[in-house]
A and B are shown apart, each in its own frame.
Chain A
Amino acid sequence: MLTVAVATGALLAAAPALAQPVDTARISAGDPNDWLTYHGSYKGWDFSGLDQINTSNVKDLEVAWTHIPGRSTRGLQSMPLAADGVLYYTGSYSRTFALDGATGKLIWSFLPELDDATVSRQTHSPYTRGLALGDGKAFVGSVDGRLFGLDAKTGKVLWESKLIDSAKLTVGFTGAPIYVNGTVIIGAQGGEWPYRGPIFGVDAATGQKKWEFDTTSGTDEAKKTWGNDTWRVGGGGGWMPGTYDAATNTVWWGTANPAPLYDWSGGDWKNSGARPGENLYTTSVIALDPDTGKLKFYHQELPHDTWDFDSAPGEFVSIDRDGKQYMVHPNKSGFIFVYDRSDAKVENVWPIIHNYNFVKSIDPKTGELIGRRDFAAGKQEGVLCPHISGGVSWNSGSYNPNTGLYYKIGNEWCMTLEVVKTTPVTEPQVQLNIGANFEIAKPPSGEIYGHLDARDPITGAKKWEVRFPEPPLASVLSTAGNLVFVPDSRGTVHAYNATTGEELWNHGDGLGHQGGIISYSAGGKQYIAVTAGFGGMASDDYRANFGEPYKSMPRDEGILVVYSLKQ
């Protein structure tokens, strides 16, 4: 049993005295002064209701303060939170900070010692993409398989829960948890690794594990969809936070892809190949009871996913329109699924990208894949689109209820592919199981590029678009000030008019962006906080393919930059 020394920071500045504890009711209410959960509120909008900063004055936006978390291996990929004028955020290695939201002064820090030997053997590591708040605590996961419950006022460790044997399974937690009514929910990495992809529900008060849902084997029904018991090494997982629908007491989660990523079965995938069958519940949206972890309903976005286009990256956007209740969810392929929020029945499916050939199309009424492209072993003709980094990645889009538009980054890139039969390696330690050699390639339409689209989230109708020479990899924020903020990969934050797409302001942060952006208020003033620091998996391809500024851009630096209007 590994003994871990936990360093707790000293309490430097008092937290606001009148702060009410964060609970599910507060997260549901979504006061615009706060940003209480990863996507802003359970609605999953990544939207701020604040309008002190707006189209008429955003040109006066300037840096208010900055904070450097240190040890920013692989950049800074996290989404901050804010409650009662206190900003919380995580860096790599689960380093967690509480700062005065107006001045950036440190309130407390949490700098855990991780199992370095285990971390050194990981690939998708050591970033920590965020935290959760609830019940007077801050909750953060670690890449060595633990979940911590910290006192939100002091950063002191109240409990620590070891959930995954990361030394054996080579995976842990990189994603933020969510807090729901006394339960903390977090999903493991896992799509590339031959294990079972667990999602956990943990008691917020004690750290005791309440439930575990294994995405490859959570029910007997699921196991039947894996020939030769390959569910045991099936991959899956749920590495980004889902959301909570309070009206039905349902947690929605996106699951990861199966392993190996690429199968050699060709069209006979139901009966032969690496993992015969649909491979439930990988590449699915699943609805769970938050207290028991029992499955309520699901929709598998890509049955027998053989392209690594998981459902895990995408946000869950709740939209009510014309008397209907929708849940909008982007699949990594670049197809946006629109569901009935009561039962995940497919209402529409629309592509945000132009270059795709893994299917001919997806039936918008049923979600059925039309003309799916399965592979036999060997070199594949032409290119596969989109690229393994996705038609969309895990950077969130934003829904603005005032414009009715969904602002989302689409990526136009493809890949060469040579499918190879592989065997899962699980001893002495689980290894990646890809099943292919590949390389990034230009799309048939021409150059690689990214685009911010303003779309009707239900119909997909496009209102406007802004193109970027390299796909932005950071989340997008829209506000009641009628602004859309896009932190790009070269290091510039842009603000656009949310109605027209006209650029109104920009500022260089000095490092590419691959994390989150939020807005909150402190002392009656509105702030925009963005994490800068490039170095994640998708960004790794930029140096070789795009040259500068990526060639000279450091991969292991990070900074939190907070903007406000001139005094």
Chain B
Amino acid sequence: MKIHRVIGAAAVLAALAVQPAAADDQPAKSPLDVDQLFATVCGYCHADGGRHAGKGPQLMNTTRSDDFIRNRIKNGKEGAMPAFGKTFSDADIDKIIAHIRALKPE
């Protein structure tokens, strides 16, 4: 149900929201704090915030397309990656992809 999904996504975002609001050129479409998200969930498999291959593939400098990444986040991969389609909105996933594209070595 769409309403349920919006409420659900809002609850996740409430826990993972950026504080304070980011000052971007454009208004933020998703308040998701992706750094927080990695340290909460993704980092279990995506080593060092996604910068290196480990349990999961390296995300920094990935040659995978946006569509591939979006599909992978939404639908997962059996026995490898969970499906987050019910957790994140399209705007959230846009932000996650932007974060991945911006990853730099530390």
Interface residues of A (CB under 8 A from B): 73-74, 92, 117, 120-123, 125-126, 192, 260, 416, 418, 420, 422-425, 427-429, 431-440, 535, 537, 540-541, 543-545, 555-556
Contact = CB atoms under 8 A, between A and B. Distances in A.
A122 B82 contact: yes
B71 interface: no
Given A120-B83, A428-B8, A434-B39, 20 more contacts: A73-B78, A92-B79, A120-B75, A123-B82, A418-B39, A418-B49, A420-B39, A420-B40, A422-B39, A422-B40, A423-B16, A428-B11, A429-B86, A431-B12, A432-B40, A435-B40, A437-B47, A438-B43, A543-B53, A544-B53
A435 B86 CA distance: 22
A425 B12 contact: yes
13 contacts: A73-B79, A192-B44, A418-B39, A429-B87, A431-B41, A438-B43, A535-B79, A537-B55, A540-B55, A540-B56, A541-B54, A555-B80, A556-B79
Contacts of A92: 79
B70 interface: no
Interface in B1-49: 4, 7-8, 11-12, 15-16, 35-36, 38-41, 43-45, 47-49
A74 B39 contact: no
Nearest to A544: B53
B40 A433 contact: yes
The 9 closest A-B CB pairs, nearest first, are A420-B39, A428-B8, A540-B55, A73-B79, A439-B47, A544-B53, A427-B11, A439-B48, A120-B83
A278 to B, nearest CB: 24
A423 B56 CA distance: 23
A543 B52 CA distance: 12
Nearest to A126: B79
B13 to A, nearest CB: 10
Contacts of A420: 35-36, 39-40
B48 A438 contact: yes
A73 B79 CA distance: 6
A423 B44 contact: no
Contacts, number: 110
Nearest to A120: B83
A411 B54 CA distance: 17
Interface residues of B, number: 35
Interface of B: 4, 7-8, 11-12, 15-16, 35-36, 38-41, 43-45, 47-49, 51-56, 75-76, 78-80, 82-84, 86-87
A427 B4 CA distance: 11
B16 to A, nearest CB: 7
Contact of A123 (B39, B45, B54, B78): B45
Contacts of B48: 416, 418, 437-439
Given A120-B76, A434-B39, A423 B15 contact: yes
Nearest to A425: B15
A437 B49 contact: yes
Nearest to B40: A422
B38 A437 contact: yes
A436 B38 CA distance: 8
Contacts of A434: 39-41, 43-44
A73 B77 CA distance: 11
Contact of B40 (A120, A425, A537): A425
Most buried by B among A120, A435, A555, A556: A120
A521 to B, nearest CB: 35
B42 to A, nearest CB: 9
A327 B12 CA distance: 44
Contacts of B44: 123, 192, 432, 434
Contact of B79 (A418, A424, A555): A555
Contacts of A535: 79
A120 B43 contact: no
B45 A540 contact: yes
B95 to A, nearest CB: 16
A537 B84 CA distance: 19
A12 B79 CA distance: 31
B14 to A, nearest CB: 9
A373 B82 CA distance: 32
Most buried by A among B8, B11, B53, B82: B82
A354 B83 CA distance: 39
A121 B82 contact: yes
A120 B12 contact: no
B101 to A, nearest CB: 18
